[in-house]
Structures are given as C-alpha cells and as structure tokens.
C-alpha cells in the first residue's frame, strides 16, 4: 500500500507538471524502427499497469478522507492524463509498424515490376526466335514435297465426284419429273386441307347438336 501511495504521489506530481516518464523517454516522433516500436509498446504496457495499481491504491485512500468525491476526481484526472500518454505511445508504435509494412510491400512490388520489365525483352526475343524457327521448318517441309503436274479442274458434285454431263432430253425429263412432284404435292396439300375442313364442320355440327339437346333438357326441367 505504501509503495502504491508513493507511486501515485509521483504520478500526481508528474501529471501536474505535464512531464510523465513516457513523455520524457518517448516523446512524439521518437519511434522510427520496428525495434523501437516493440520496445515502446512494452514500456506503455508496463506504465499502464503501474497507473492502474496507483489508481486503485489512491481510490482506497480517498475512502478515508473527508472530501471523498474531490479526492476521487483528482485521482481519475491524474490517471486519465497518464493513460492518454500510454495510448499515444501505442498509437505511434502501431502507425510506425503499418508505415514500415506499407513501405516493404511497395518495395517488393517495385522489385517485381523491375524484374518483369527486365525479362520482357528476353521473352520477346525468345518468342521471335521460336516464330522464325517454326517458319523455317514449314518452308523446308514445303520444299521437300514432290512436285505434281498441274491437272485440269473438273466440276464436282457435293460427294466430290465429277458432275455428269446431261443431254437436252435428259434435262427436259428431269424438269418434267420435278413438275409432276410439285403438282402431286400441291394436290396432296389441297386434299388434306379439304379433309381438315370437313372434320371441323362435323365437329361443329356435333357441338350444335349437343347444345340443342342441353337446351331442350333444361326447358323440360323448368316445366
């Protein structure tokens, strides 16, 4: 208890002078490296534990004095001043680490971009050599092919065989057969249309008959 009271008295004096150990040892902007950030975080944690211990001891002491509320208010004020310094150190440490991480990522991206840029000409040259080698092989293969005598092109059917030459009589016969097929198709279509019309007429008559039967039955029931 005595140690906590002495510590709180020291905290009170430091707070009133606005010169805590964290302000003295770790002023704003003093954290620049990862090692300094890690050390500052440990110092801030230890300082927070000391502040908490001193505040609890002072709260217990305040319970024994006449002006309890005033005593507790002063204790909270001193604690809050010290805790703000703890938060400042922690925040600066985190900011430094994030900044260093971003710089490392940017450096890695720049190095990767430089590596790709350096490799691009080599890849292009390799692609050009590959295309030239392929073209050279194609040219060599064309030269090795046997030369055949030119042939007279003949008209071919869809199956690939030469189209037969028809006489005038054969052509006329083909035309006549085609016309007969067309006439037969037209007659068939006409007969089917007439058949459908007759069927539709029969169905319509049956519908009329059923309707008349229903009408007569309904009239008979109402009598």
Distance CA 178, CA 185 (A): 11
Same domain, 133 and 179: no
- Token code pair at residue 35: 């090692």
Number of separate domains in the chain = 2
pLDDT tens figures, 108-146: 999 888 888 887 777 788 888 888 888 888 888 887 776
**Predicted TM-score (pTM) of this structure:** 0.45
- Residue/partner pairs of 11-14 with CB below 8 Å, 24 or more apart: 11/51, 11/54, 11/78, 11/79, 11/82, 12/74, 12/78, 14/82
Same domain, 133 and 177: no
**Tokens 């069927």, residue?**
199
Could you tell me which residue, 81 or 157, shows the higher pLDDT? 81
Name 47's Cβ contacts closer than 8 Å, sequence gap at least 6.
20, 21, 22, 82, 85, 86
Judge whether 104 lies within some domain.
yes
User: Among the three residues 137, 157, 187, which one is the final residue of a domain in this structure?
Assistant: 137
Q: Do the beta carbons of residue 16 and residue 9 sit within 8 Å?
A: no
User: Among the three residues 76, 109, 137, which one is the final residue of a domain in this structure?
Assistant: 137
pLDDT tens figures, 77-106: 999 999 999 999 999 999 999 999 999 999
What residue numbers bound the domain in which 209 lies? Answer: 173-223
């Amino acid at each position: 208890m005595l140690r906590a009271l002495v510590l709180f008295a020291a905290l009170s004096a430091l707070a009133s002078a606005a010169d805590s150990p964290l302000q003295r040892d770790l002023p704003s902007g003093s954290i620049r490296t990862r090692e300094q950030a890690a050390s500052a975080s440990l110092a801030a944690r230890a300082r927070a534990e000391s502040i908490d211990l001193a505040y609890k001891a002072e709260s217990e002491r305040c319970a024994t004095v006449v002006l309890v509320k005033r005593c507790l208010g002063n204790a909270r004020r001193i604690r809050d001043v010290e805790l703000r310094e703890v938060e400042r150190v922690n925040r600066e440490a985190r900011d430094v680490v994030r900044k260093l991480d971003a710089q490392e990522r940017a450096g890695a991206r720049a190095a990767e971009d430089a590596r790709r840029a350096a490799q691009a000409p080599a890849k292009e040259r390799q692609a050009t050599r590959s295309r030239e080698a392929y073209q050279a092989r194609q040219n060599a293969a064309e030269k090795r092919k046997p030369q055949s005598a030119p042939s007279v092109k003949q008209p071919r059917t869809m199956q690939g065989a030469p189209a037969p030459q028809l006489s005038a009589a054969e052509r006329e016969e083909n035309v006549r057969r085609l016309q007969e097929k067309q006439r037969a198709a037209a007659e068939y279509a006409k007969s089917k249309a007439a058949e459908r019309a007759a069927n539709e007429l029969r169905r319509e008559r049956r519908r009329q008959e059923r309707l008349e039967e229903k009408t007569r039955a309904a009239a008979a029931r109402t009598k």
